[in-house]
Structure formats: structure tokens, C-alpha cells
Amino acid sequence: MDTNQAALDYARAYVASRKDTETRCDAIELDLFTPNYNTGILAALTLDFFDPVEITTNQPGGSILNQTLQVFGVSHRVTPNSWKTTFTTLEPIIDGFILNSSLYGVLDTSVLAY
């Protein structure tokens, strides 16, 4: 942010991206000591900040919530008998084009349709 206007633009984009949040998934915890959980271990070692993740949760009453979020934080807790990885998730700040992304790299969809 080189100017006050740039800072204001970022602040407005951030507020706009958070104003309509309804049900949130603030974090995902993976128990990597689970037997035969290669998918979880691969995710824990390869996901990075701003990577998109698709979250499906079963809500009370039987409804299902599907959200596309981004990783905004990663923490690992490793002991001799456990390995837990927690990903902090948030809604994307701004939709945009991400190379090689099956979600944010598809032309004629979402914000790329204009």
C-alpha cells in the first residue's frame, strides 16, 4: 500500500468481502495420527496460505453446508503420540484469477465472466 487511496481501497474490499457472511467455518483440524489417512497428511503438508478449500459440513437438523474458503493460517501440534494440523479459514478477500486453479482459474465464471 503506497498511498492512502490504495489503503482505503484494500480496506473497502476487505469490508465488502466480510459483510454478508452467514454461517462460518473458522477452522479445520486434521488428526494426522488417524490410520490410513494419507489424504489428510498430503493436505497438511501441501496446503498454503490463500489456497482455496471446499468445506462440507453436516449441520444440526440434517442440512448440509457447502462453502469455498481460503486458508489464512496453519498450525501444527506434534507430540510423540499425536499430530494435529489446524487450518484457519475465511471467505476469500477478493475473487480473482489464480493460475492452475480449478476454482479460481476458470474463464467465464464468477468474477471472470465480465
Does pTM surpass 0.85? no
CB atoms near residue 95 (< 10 Å): 15
- Tens of pLDDT, residue by residue over 53-67, are 888 888 888 888 888
Strands (E) across the chain are located at 27-31, 52-58, 64-79, 82-90
- pLDDT score of 42: 92
Cβ-based neighbour number of residue 39 at 10 Å: 9
Task: Provide the residue count of the chain.
Answer: 114
**What confidence score (pLDDT) does residue 60 get?**
84
Instruction: Tell me the sheet residues that pair with 90.
Output: 70
